[in-house]
Structure 1
Amino acid sequence: MKTIVIIPARGGSKRLPNKNILSLGGMPLIAHSILYAQNNSAIIDEIYISTDDAAIKRIAREYGAKVIDRPESLSGDLEPTVSSLKHVLESIGKEVENVILLQATNPLRPQNLLNEAFEVYQGGNCDSLFTVSRNYQKLGKIEGNKFHPFNYNIGQRSQDLEPLFFENGLLYISTASLILQEIIISENAFPFEVNSIFANVDIDTEEDLEYAEYLIKKGLARLRST
């Protein structure tokens, strides 16, 4: 039974045009996730890029990934990610057991993350897994020009906050059968905690790209090669 990686990467991006092929650390953004998958070949059998963009297709093939042409009907701004994952499974016509979702916009990941997460996924009583990180901010809502604390009391120390976590987007693992039901994170999904500076790297703006470039130049992110 196969375990495959799917990297969705459509061409349209309004806040940061052509972001999936912009240069980061001397290579296209999408290449980071492809190379990460290739460096985990003991787990991953095949790597697929789902895209509607000719430039992304060319780069994906140059870096050794397989390309699935995403139809226009699944390439809109409001189309959920799981639609493209399901389309890949239906298109390749192969028996697949597990799907690993790597988002091109999360290019920097801890080196051993996939190995550690996949071991938990296989050994646990779960049909999906996703990565989370702890939030240390004091959050609240503004209603009627007044601030209402959500996760703390005014004057409370940050270190005494009740633990809250956010979905960081670094990694998702799911059974293929769940994806075909258009589900990525099931009710019994395992929340795999990641304590890494990379959990805050999600490329949506020019500032995000500059921050990721800064981490690379500082040597905090190790670039991978084929």
Structure 2
Amino acid sequence: MRILYLIPARAGSKGLPGKNVKILGDKPLIVHTIDFALQNIKEEDELCISSNDEEVLDIAKSLRIDVPFVRPEELASDTANSYDVIMHAIKCYEDNNKCFDLVLLLQPTSPFRSQDDFDTLIQNYDDEVEMVVSVKKAKENPYFTLFEENESGFLDKSKKGNFQRRQDCPDVFAFNGSMYLLKVSALKNRSINEFKKIKKIVMPEERSIDIDTMADWTLAEFYLNKQ
């Protein structure tokens, strides 16, 4: 399996400006994810930093990572989606006769991953799977604590069930933003939100931080110091 390790890092974050290059611990946030990729990448694979941020691209070049393109501005706006960013990267490489079986999307805003997380992700992939994704066990539960407003303006449980305690409800999971292992042939046929054959790996809360605000950053520093 040939894998494209794809790290998306656009400029212009509004929640925490400059977060991708902000120092977490002893290095820029994005370098935590770059280091993780470099520890696992094989000779036939490629590492791609998809960014329109000059500081991010300079960091990549300083680490001797090839930068095959600068992400177009229309794919770096608040309304741009991950699927279009992924397909843009795949096309850029295919135009240069480099094809991949899988894309491993690694978001730099989720800096904490273990080797066991990665190994489990790879082990869960097979030819029948469209995506293996990292998740965390969700605290909120649609059988118990999540509600939707009905046409009369009253709240109904999002998912019907007669459970008296949250502990009795089926487990539900939320994508934690850390790792998405995606089958390229599936990506070419449908968007990610149309995938049906999805497997998960469960990561603990302390490795499921997704940094978007200063409060998230403070929590990430806490977990890093705890480690």
TM-score by length of 1: 0.85
Q: Which stretches in structure 2 are left out of the alignment for 5+ residues?
A: none
What do you get for the CA RMSD once the two structures are aligned? Answer: 2.5
Residue 110 of structure 2: aligned partner: 106
Contact 1:31/1:63 (<8 A) preserved:
no
Residue 170 of structure 2: aligned partner: 162
Superposition pairs of residues 62-141 of structure 1, within 5 angstroms? 62-67=62-67, 68-92=69-93, 93=96, 94-122=98-126, 125-137=128-140, 138-141=144-147
Q: More displaced, 59-68 or 167-176?
A: 59-68
Q: How far is the alpha carbon of 1:66 from its aligned partner? A: 2.9
Contact 1:34/1:65 (<8 A) preserved:
no
- 1:196-217 deviations in Å (ceiling 9; x for gaps): 1245400000010110111110
Q: Which stretches in structure 1 are left out of the alignment for 5+ residues?
A: 220-226
Give the residue type in structure 1 aligned to 2:138: N
Distance 1:12 1:181, change over 3 A: farther
Please state which structure has a larger fraction of its residues in strand: 1
Contact 1:37/1:44 (<8 A) preserved:
no
How many residue pairs align between the two structures? Answer: 218
SS in 2 for 1:39: helix
TM-score by length of 2: 0.84
Q: How far is the alpha carbon of 1:146 from its aligned partner? A: 5.9
Distance 1:76 1:111, change over 3 A: same
Q: Does 1:32 align with 2:32?
A: yes
Q: How far is the alpha carbon of 1:187 from its aligned partner? A: 2.8
SS in 1 for 2:125: helix
Q: How far is the alpha carbon of 1:188 from its aligned partner? A: 3.2
Give the residue type in structure 1 aligned to 2:88: H
Q: Distance in 1 between matches of 2:158 and 2:192?
A: 28
The match for 1:209 among 183, 200, 217 is 217
Contact 2:105/2:179 (<8 A) preserved:
yes
Residue 194 of structure 1: aligned partner: 202
Q: Distance in 2 between matches of 1:187 and 1:155?
A: 30
